[in-house]
Amino acid sequence: MLLEDRPAAVRVPHAPSRAARARAFPRPGLHASIVLGALALAALSLLLPSTPTYDPWAWIIWGREIAHLDLSTVEGPSWKPLPVFFTTIFSVFGDASPDLWLVIARAGAFAALAYAFLVARRLGGGVAGGVAAAAGLAIAPWWIRNGGMGNSEGLIIAFVLAAVERHLAGDRRAAFLLGACAALLRPEAWPFLGLYGLWLLWRRHLHPALVLGTGAAVLALWILPEWWGSGDAWRAAHRAKDVNPGAPTYAENPALAVLEDAGEMLTTAMLLGLAAIAVRAALVRDRAVVWLMALAVAWLGLVVYMTSDGFSGNQRYLMTPVALGIVLGAAGAGWVVTAVARRAGPAGIAVAAVALGAAFAVPSLARLEPTLHSLEYQAKLNDAVGPLVREAGGRDALLRCGTPYTGPFLVPVLAWHLRLHTSQVNLNPRAPAVVFRERTTSGSRPVPTVRGIEGVPQENLATRDPMWRVIGACEAGAA
């Protein structure tokens, strides 16, 4: 993100023209329109089958717990400050809190598409490059899945791309603060925010108090709540190394596995576009492109290193550098097709934009249907939990029967509906128990196992939903 050389010792400032200022600093209404439009689309998306997934359910619970001064982060995913800021506010709306978080997460994903368009266009791709960047992201199955289920990756990519756009426009303060928001979502952003902050201090673009204070606040918001909730200020880092089976970190060569995963997230058109933008950067000596390519490569390299060091390296870690790669590739492809289509005038450029958008999007269409089917299945599975709790007699009756148990990925949603800490919902049933048994995916076996309550009188407590079986084993088993 360090896109300029150090200035000479003496500089004579020249007041920019009104037109130059308009180009450098788009009207605030543009960014407000992006935010409001993204929020509106996200709210409308709730008309489709919708549910948070594992991590967002935990953030929603932590927001409720903070509001009641009863935070427990002993179990669950790694802490993320920015999502919990929102879910703490949303906790006052009770049962609407999960949907409100989905609106924020999906709004981030929609806003990221708009900023992908703006950045690709600004980097020389023109309208065609902007359309390709937005289309390539919007139809990617990993984009739809994570945005649809409330993960925070859409938000971080929106903040990173908005920070890049603001930097390119000359608004260093906004760029730095947007980068700080990204750093409240993933720790991989920390070193890049730190380097950018040092550069801003060196160039005297921002007051040291703002840069240093923001950096200190980011660290405090990651560390202090974990210390309160678990007694371990570094639990987030420890939890991130508690990896599920099948993660790239368990591969024979974790670094190669991560690079292969990143390559599979890019299509042939995107890779050709990356080659084109590299050529353009060399021809016109575009430092902005060079630094942005360096940012994407360095972020990917950091994920590779972390995976080799024991972190999971799953696809969510890769989304930010891959999204940067898609935007750069779209800019390169847009540069090429615009140069060819310009001779045909505006109509030719419009046709080129549509064609390039299709080239970036069409390869992902084959995976669209299974992705949407998976989202629908998860929505039905999660939406059934509240009615099942009520059918089975309600929270108090269930807890009188025994300890609640369910499959590993449904612990937070059950804890939410039973108004418990996630640490109070367990995985391996022992009587007395209330077991919420389900198939985590449509093709998986039912979990959890019920071997631990064999020989204990059992009762089906809820039968209304075929996706679940709720078993009450209210008598204590043999010691």
Question: Does residue 428 register a pLDDT over 80?
Answer: yes
Q: What percent of the chain has pLDDT over 70?
A: 93
The pLDDT value given to residue 465: 84
pLDDT tens digit string along 297-336?
Answer: 999 999 999 998 888 888 999 999 999 999 999 999 999 9
Residue 1 pLDDT class (50, 70, 90 cuts): very low
Give 167-187 as a DSSP string. Answer: HHTT-HHHHHHHHHHHHTT-G
pLDDT tens digit string along 360-384?
Answer: 999 999 999 999 999 999 999 999 9
Residue 463 pLDDT class (50, 70, 90 cuts): confident
Of 142, 62, 145, give the one whose Cα is nearest residue 422: 62
pLDDT tens digit string along 274-290?
Answer: 999 999 999 998 899 99
Return d(Cα 325, Cα 298) in angstroms, integer.
12
The pLDDT value given to residue 27: 60
Question: Does residue 425 register a pLDDT over 60?
Answer: yes
Structure token digits, residue 374? 């998976």
**Stretch 235-245: mean pLDDT:** 75
**CA 210 to the chain's CA centroid:** 26
The pLDDT value given to residue 28: 65
Return d(Cα 150, Cα 312) in angstroms, integer.
20
The pLDDT value given to residue 420: 98
Lowest mean pLDDT among 145-149, 200-204, 240-244, 328-332: 240-244
Amino acid identity of residue 50, one-letter, is S
Of 161, 37, 171, give the one whose Cα is nearest residue 110: 37
Of 379, 381, 417, give the one whose Cα is nearest residue 64: 417
**Given its phi and psi angles, is residue 207 left (phi above 0), alpha (psi -120 to 50 degrees) or beta?**
beta
Bond before 448 cis per omega within 30 degrees: yes
Buried b (16+ CB within 10 A) or exposed e, 395-410: eeebbebbbbbbbebb
**Stretch 55-59: mean pLDDT:** 97
Question: Does residue 20 register a pLDDT over 80?
Answer: no
Q: Strand order of the sheet with strand 459-462?
A: 403-406, 433-438, 468-473, 459-462
What is the pTM assigned to this prediction? Answer: 0.91
- 443 or 364, which is more confident: 364
The label of the residue with tokens 């084109």 reads 276
Of 446, 444, 449, give the one whose Cα is nearest residue 246: 444
Alpha helices in 250-286 (DSSP H): 254-264, 268-284
Mean of the per-residue pLDDT values for the chain? 91
Q: Which residues make beta-bridge pairs with 471?
A: 435, 460
Return d(Cα 14, Cα 119) in angstroms, integer.
27
pLDDT tens digit string along 149-199?
Answer: 999 999 999 999 999 999 999 999 999 999 999 999 999 999 999 999 999
Separation in Å, CA 94 to CA 90, 308, 413, 418: 7, 41, 14, 13
**CA 58 to the chain's CA centroid:** 15
The pLDDT value given to residue 80: 96
Per-domain residue ranges of the chain: 27-374, 384-473
Question: Does residue 14 register a pLDDT over 50?
Answer: no
pLDDT tens digit string along 335-355?
Answer: 999 998 888 788 888 999 999
Is residue 436 classed as helix, strand or coil in its secondary structure? strand
The pLDDT value given to residue 17: 44
The pLDDT value given to residue 426: 96
